[in-house]
Structure 1
Amino acid sequence: MGEATGFQLGVIGALALSVASSVSIVICNKALMSFLGFPFATTLTSWHLMVTFCTLHVANRFNVFENKPIDMKTVMLFGILNGVSIGFLNLSLGFNSIGFYQMTKLAIIPFTVLLETIFLKKQFSQKIRLSLLVLLLGVGIASITDLQLNLVGSVLSVLAIATTCVGQILTNTIQKRLNVSSTQLLYQSAPFQAAILFVSGPLVDQFLTKQNVFAYKYSPVVLAFIILSCLISVSVNFSTFLVIGKTSPVTYQVLGHLKTCLVLAFGYTLLHDPFTERNIIGILVAIFGMGLYSYFCTHENKKKQLSDLLPQSAQIKEKETTPLLGAKIMGSQDKDSHEVKKSNGLMNKDSVV
């Protein structure tokens, strides 16, 4: 029970850290890109990953965590895949309308469920699927405004969905199968993610913004926000791996849509962004779907824990009863042998007389 309680507290802490850090970095990046005119999102992500790796390297030097070697080929392919998925998501945003990009993000959940069902044989109950449907409906109502389709944007969206789903499933699978922590996996994969984005980022950004990141004039305020964004990203990247490792890729995506609702509410409350009754209804429906998902997941996990405990309790009971039976049998055998010896003694006594 103590281990289960500790695990639940760890999951809650990971979820809270992920929400707080993600909302913080969205606010910081919004200020950086919208108000300060720094539009180089992909290049900025590569800096995030480099700072994350450097931070973890220093932490490893001070023995904050123990580095566990992982097969180089696995780490390299995993890092490159995650880096490519970020690039495709940014390209999808650049080639599609905001509404279609939101549809792309929403499609990640059903595709993840489909892939885990087919390849990992994971079962999702009807209640879980229903709660996810309510969630997606709510987020769709709140965030999707227009759906302008084009061939290039559609292809990029499909590639973004596929690489993101596979990358997040691998994040969970590698941690469990190789018995590595989220910190160990992030530490070893971050250099490859940073490298692929550091090379491709400036090209992608120049293609999307028609500006050169190296020709940009960096003011002290812009540099300060870039540094702040990179520092927050350490927590974002760490909590991402932590949440996926402790829960599942689907739960992480559900959490991501909670962040979307929080960002929308923040934009309306503090930045006075345009907000309608449709946005409010969508957010409320999405929060209701998240509540259903959390409730059903908790209920099913408790049932699973009980079913796992029953065989163990039966084995413990069997171990406890077996020695008693053995002792009882031994005791009866000793009693019988004592009676035999006693009768033999009487017979010998009678023969002497």
Structure 2
Amino acid sequence: MLPLALSFCGFVVFTNLSLESNTVGTYQIIKTLTTPCIIAIQTYFYGRKFSFNVKLTLIPITLGVFLNSVYDIKFNFIGIVYASVGVLITSLYQVWVGEKQSELQVNSMQLLYYQAPLSAFLLLFVIPFFEPLDAFHGVFFNWPYEALAAVTASACVAFSVNLSIFWIIGNTSPVTYNMIGHLKFCMTLLGGYLLFHDPIQALQLMGILCTVAGVVAYTHIKREEMRRSSPLPTSVSSSGSYSKS
């Protein structure tokens, strides 16, 4: 359980450092490397097989994210380092979430129940290096009740997000979880445009279409693969013997 908890800590720390050091566009572009990284880890270390068609769906998805983020790309060395380490650790974490559920024969809530307290304890040792303890707005600052309520609400949302990660990966796969993440990114952009009238460029619309097309193609390919790999239903003949229909 310790490797899973440590990988979660790394996922939290380096993802936030990447967001702090990079623009959102740069963060999103590098984040797309998570899916091929997961495929590589599962292929070379866990013997998983991915069809060529599944790998091809990464092309429109990556292109779509690039088109969505092209207006906000700025690279810097430390940001690239944080983002790259974050991609690797995030990939390991998501792979291990699925592997541990299978290995320990537990569901998503049970695994999160054991992993979350240990991860929270380990993060206590990281906080002093990144957050001021007694300065203005530090950990021990006299926070107003509104801020505490916002932090509590954020923690509840974070718990729900983590639970969804465990549930989706446990019932599907880390790659499928990332596909849902790409779709969520597109829905966020569209929601901002439709609900809050955020400006959106033509290239971004093309990017959304590319990403959605890639996710739809992935879904179709996986459904076809599952249909072909599922056993044929059996029926009972009049003589009482079973035959495949």
TM-score between both structures, scaled by the size of structure 1: 0.62
Match of 1:227 in 2: 152
Name the aligned partner's letter for residue 176 of structure 1: S
CA offsets per residue over residues 199-238 of structure 1, 9 Å max, x none? 32353245xxx96432656334333322222222332221
Shift of 1:258: 1.2
Query: Do 1:84 and 1:197's aligned partners in 2 also have CA atoms closer than 8 Å?
Result: no
Amino acid at match of 2:43: T
One-letter code aligned to 1:229: S
Q: Is the 8 A contact 2:131 2:139 kept in 1?
A: no
The one-letter code sitting in structure 2 at the alignment partner of 1:260 is F
SS at match of 1:103: helix
More deviation in 180-189 or 147-156?
147-156
- Secondary structure of the structure 2 residue equivalent to 1:199: coil
Aligned to 2:206: 281
The amino acid across from 1:141 in the alignment is L
Listed as ranges, the matches of 1:116-195 within 5 Å are 116-195=42-121
- Aligned-partner residue type, residue 86 of structure 1: V
Q: How does 1:254-293 map to 2 (within 5 A)?
A: 254-293=179-218
Matched residue type, 1:240: I
C-alpha distance 213-202 of structure 1, shift in aligned 2 (>3 A): farther
In 2 relative to 1, CA 176–158 (structure 1 residues): closer, same or farther, beyond 3 Å? same
Matched residues in 1 for 2:79 and 2:61: separation?
25
Q: Which of residues 239, 256, 261 is equivalent to 2:164?
A: 239
Amino acid at match of 2:121: A
Query: Aligned residue for 2:173?
Result: 248
Does the CA-based 8 Å contact 2:26-2:69 persist in structure 1? Answer: no
2:2 matches 1:88: no
Q: Distance in 2 between matches of 1:88 and 1:235?
A: 20
Contact between 1:109 and 1:253, CA under 8 Å: does it hold in 2? Answer: yes
**Counterparts of residues 1-353 of structure 1 (less than 5 Å):** 75-205=1-131, 212-214=137-139, 216=141, 218-306=143-231, 309=232
Deviations 1:319-341 (A, max 9, x none): x659xxxxxxxxxxxxxxxxxxx
Query: Residue 92 and residue 233 in structure 1: after superposition, are their counterparts in 2 closer, same or farther (change >3 A)?
Result: closer
Task: Tell me whether 136-145 or 218-227 shows the greater mean CA deviation.
Answer: 218-227
d(CA) in 2 for partners of 1:268 and 1:219?
Answer: 33
Aligned-partner Cα distance in 2 for 1:120–1:251 = 17
**Unaligned ranges ≥5, structure 1:** 1-74, 323-353
**In structure 1, the residue corresponding to 2:125 is in which secondary structure?**
helix
Amino acid corresponding to residue 117 of structure 1 in structure 2 = T
Matched with 1:68 is none
Change (3 A) 1:110 1:268: same
Higher relative contact order (CA 8 A, sep 6+): 1
Residue 47 of structure 2 aligns to a residue whose secondary structure is coil
Is the Cα contact below 8 Å between 1:87 and 1:204 reproduced in 2?
no
Of all paired residues, the percent bearing the same amino acid is: 32
Please state which structure has a larger fraction of its residues in helix: 1
The one-letter code sitting in structure 2 at the alignment partner of 1:112 is: I
Which of 1 and 2 has greater Rg? 1
1:264-313 residue CA offsets vs partner (Å, 9 max, x unmatched): 1222223332311111111121111111111111111111113xx47xx5
Paired residue type of 2:5: G
- Of residues 286-295 and 134-143 in structure 1, the stretch that sits farther from structure 2 once superposed is 134-143
**2:67–2:207 contact (8 Å) kept in structure 1:** yes
Which piece of structure 1 moves more, 297-306 or 146-155?
A: 146-155
Partners of 2:20 and 2:188 lie apart in 1 by 20
Question: Which residue of structure 2 aligns with residue 5 of structure 1?
Answer: none
